[in-house]
Amino acid sequence: MFQKMLIANRGEVACRVMATAQRLGVRTVAVYSEADANARHVDLADEAWPIGPAPARESYLVIDKIMGIARRSGAQAVHPGYGFLAENAEFAEACAAAGIAFIGPPPQAMRIMGSKAAAKALMQRAGVPVVPGHHGDAQDLAGLASAARDVGFPILVKASAGGGGKGMRIVERADDLPSACEAARREALAAFGDDRLLIEKYLTRPRHIEVQIFADAHGGLVSFPERDCSIQRRYQKILEETPAPRLEPALQRAISEAAIAAARIVAYVGAGTVEFLTQGESFYFLEMNTRLQVEHPITEMVARQDLVEWQLRVACGEKLPFGQEELNVRGHAIEARVYAEDPARGFAPSVGVLEHLREPREGANVRVDTGVRRGDLITHYYDPMIAKLIVWDEDRRGAVLRLAAALADYEVVGVATNLDLLRAVASHPDFIAGEIDTGFIDRHRDELIAATPLTETEEIASLAAGAAAWIADLRARQATEAANPFDPWSPWGMADAWRINGDGRQDIAFDLEGRRISLRISPRPDGSYRLDARTKSVLIAAAEDEDGMRLYVDGVLHRLRVVRQGDRLVVVLRGRNHVLNYVDPLAPPPVERAAVGELTAPLPARVTRVLVDTGDIVKKGTPLIVLEAMKMELTLAAPRDGAVVEIRYAAGDMAPEGAELIVLREGEAA
């Protein structure tokens, strides 16, 4: 086994690889960009080396920098994780040239399978069915347009060199092809450093099925049960499970055999994933990912094996720990990816500080793989994944129940997340029944993203928790201000709500989900309160510590948490965030804005294209500007009809979050 290993990655996957390495006694070397100086993977490593500025193309994607650190640190091996350089054959060759083991497949296998076009051509020759499309070398727009006409719309434009949904666009009409190709090229170049494209027929109701394979250099090759990765947004998986539900045994066998054939034909060594699309009884080769896959933990859970350990042992020249017949696979596992993003805004990434983070309790049935901690900053430079939540049970029904329970225990405050969406998926009847395909999110978008109305119990509990926290903070401030070292026994220095005449009480108001709600709080001698809200009157008592708040409402206990953000309180109740904004009775009424349309940056981002000119008349929904952040492109559209009166950012500019990008005015331009 290696004595020291460099991990050429960051975040969750770097932490994941370190866990196995350290268990095996392998010292770990981390690399970090300027944005990651205080990251979790830096703290967990045995040693950490700076690698350059925050943008990945200036740090994590620079082979020479990584190899220089590998040599100077004395690393005997490099683990690439996934993403960045994980499927870069030149990186693997650079490791070999330096006498450093690359923990991945041979460069030739990476080169063949890393190119979707070359891989599909090879699979066709091997008799494995592929999705009809254009996988050739022609990259000019005319050639791509001709291929699209031959395939027939709708088609899928895809980056040839990568995965993860980057550089992918659905095109339903020929007129939309030029802009789709242009956007896909930009996104592919930013994510993979390669802007080559291919064209495929777009299947209307496919399932995304993949097979984890593992091979050693001695001819050993095993495949694990297939994974269903059909729950996706932006062509990127957010929920995966194994084995795939409702998949016919004959189709299972055919897919597994095709995956094994794909690995053998390129003399594969190491961990790899062969991906397919299925529709009805047919299946088609999609691609092979020549690396550890993001969703590998669900395979680990059902097989009770550590696939990173398998990677290290194979890279050391050892045989696979088990043969196919010795694998003992049991139960069902599901992984949900928790992202810092806002589903209601087209899954736009969210940046900010993780002011509060509480993960479900881990155990034999629940696992959390993460690269962040409370207080960390989610930046716009990298993928916005916060963590992966993995659950296991004896059967799918049990696993789905465990997933729902674990999601209810997940708490995040500080950035928008997809947690509510994941909860909605986990409880959706079609998902529970296993009726899923890649269009699941889009087909059920409205019901999955719709805000769940508060029940009366949740509303009262949220208001009571906010009131209790507000009163506790007020008393703490008053006690501090009233402290008088010259007369510590003065009754005027007490903050106990005592009044000369009548009971003490406090009137406050909160804005809860757009509704102003007035509250009257009356303290009682035993430290509890009478809370009057609208037509409801309840008795509340609260105690708060580092584990959260124990709130009693008419004797009923609620365990929750209150996160302070100035005059804003976030009440976290059963995983859901309820925001209470304190209404200052002395604040002036809000000023009406002029009829000027705002088009602001939803997060720090680089402007890649401006699609309009000053003076243009645009309709609501017209694309105006394209941004790039977190390896994704975001196209912002006009919020209303109007005229473009000012363009404040040009292509190449960095725009901070909230910056007004384009100014619109109703009517004609001046």
Q: What is the pLDDT of residue 487?
A: 59
467 domain residue, yes or no: yes
Q: From residue 382, how far is each of 9, 84, 346 by CA, in Å?
A: 11, 10, 18
Q: What is the pLDDT of residue 330?
A: 97
Secondary structure of 364-414 in HEC code, one letter for each residue? CCEEEEECCCCCCEECCCCCCEEEEEEEEECCHHHHHHHHHHHHHCCEEEC
Q: What is the pLDDT of residue 490?
A: 60
Q: What is the pLDDT of residues 303-360, one digit of tens each?
A: 999 999 999 999 999 999 999 999 999 999 999 999 999 998 888 889 899 999 999 9
Mean pLDDT of the chain: 89
CATH number at residue 38: 3.40.50.20
CB contact at 8 A, 335 and 240:
yes
Q: What is the pLDDT of residues 378-392, one digit of tens each?
A: 998 999 999 999 999
Quote the CA–CA distance of 437 and 37 in Å, as a whole number: 40
55 domain residue, yes or no: yes
Last residue of a domain, one of 518, 551, 582: 582
Q: Are residues 221 and 341 in the same domain?
A: yes
Q: Are residues 608 and 571 in the same domain?
A: no
For the chain, give the number of residues: 670
What residues have CB less than 8 Å from 553, skipping those under 6 apart? 460, 461, 464, 538, 539, 540
Q: Are residues 325 and 441 in the same domain?
A: yes
Q: Are residues 481 and 443 in the same domain?
A: no
Q: Are residues 245 and 303 in the same domain?
A: yes
619 domain residue, yes or no: yes
Question: What's the whole-number mean pLDDT along residues 159-181?
Answer: 80
Q: What is the pLDDT of residue 169?
A: 87
Q: Are residues 162 and 302 in the same domain?
A: yes
Q: What is the pLDDT of residue 15?
A: 98
Closest to 354 measured CA to CA, from 369, 337, 335, 339: 339
Closest to 307 measured CA to CA, from 79, 28, 61: 79
User: How many percent of the chain have pLDDT more than 70?
Assistant: 93
Q: Are residues 143 and 183 in the same domain?
A: yes
Q: Are residues 498 and 603 in the same domain?
A: no
560 domain residue, yes or no: yes
Domain boundaries, position 67: 4-103
CA quadruple 374, 376, 377, 383: dihedral sign: negative
CATH number at residue 640: 2.40.50.100
Q: What is the pLDDT of residues 33-81, one digit of tens each?
A: 999 999 999 999 999 999 999 999 999 999 999 999 999 999 999 999 9
Q: Are residues 426 and 473 in the same domain?
A: no
User: Six-digit token pair at 533?
Assistant: 């809200």
Q: Is the pLDDT of residue 669 over 80?
A: no
CATH number at residue 416: 3.30.470.20
Say which of 196, 291, 367, 606 is annotated catalytic. Answer: 291
Q: How many structural domains is the chain composed of?
A: 4
- Which residue type does 467 have? A
Quote the CA–CA distance of 595 and 152 in Å, as a whole number: 45
Q: What is the pLDDT of residues 446-467, one digit of tens each?
A: 999 987 888 999 999 999 999 9
124 domain residue, yes or no: no
Q: Which of 45-54, 118-127, 309-318, 490-499 is the least confident region?
A: 490-499
Q: Are residues 437 and 530 in the same domain?
A: no
312 domain residue, yes or no: yes
CATH number at residue 483: 3.30.700
587 domain residue, yes or no: no
- Which residue type does 230 have? S
Strand partners, 481: none
Q: Grade residue 593 by pLDDT with cuts at 50, 70 and 90.
A: very low
Quote the CA–CA distance of 32 and 49 in Å, as a whole number: 6
Instruction: Give phi and psi for 213, each to the nearest 5.
Output: -115, 160
Q: Is the pLDDT of residue 670 over 70?
A: no
Quote the CA–CA distance of 556 and 461 in Å, as a whole number: 10
Q: Is the pLDDT of residue 566 over 90?
A: no
Note if 291 is an active site residue: yes
Question: What's the whole-number mean pLDDT along residues 10-26?
Answer: 97
Q: Grade residue 503 by pLDDT with cuts at 50, 70 and 90.
A: low
416 domain residue, yes or no: yes
Q: What is the pLDDT of residue 476?
A: 84
- Which residue type does 615 have? G
CB contact at 8 A, 534 and 515:
no
Last residue of a domain, one of 66, 87, 103: 103
Last residue of a domain, one of 85, 103, 121: 103
Q: What is the pLDDT of residue 376?
A: 96
Query: Cα 158 to chain center, whole Å?
Result: 21
Q: Are residues 297 and 224 in the same domain?
A: yes
Question: What's the whole-number mean pLDDT along residues 90-108?
Answer: 96
Q: What is the pLDDT of residues 207-247, one digit of tens each?
A: 999 999 999 999 999 999 999 999 999 889 999 999 999 99
Question: What's the whole-number mean pLDDT along residues 508-522?
Answer: 91
Q: Are residues 27 and 150 in the same domain?
A: no
Q: Grade residue 527 by pLDDT with cuts at 50, 70 and 90.
A: confident
Q: What is the pLDDT of residues 594-648, one digit of tens each?
A: 445 578 888 788 898 899 999 899 988 888 998 887 667 788 888 888 899 999 9
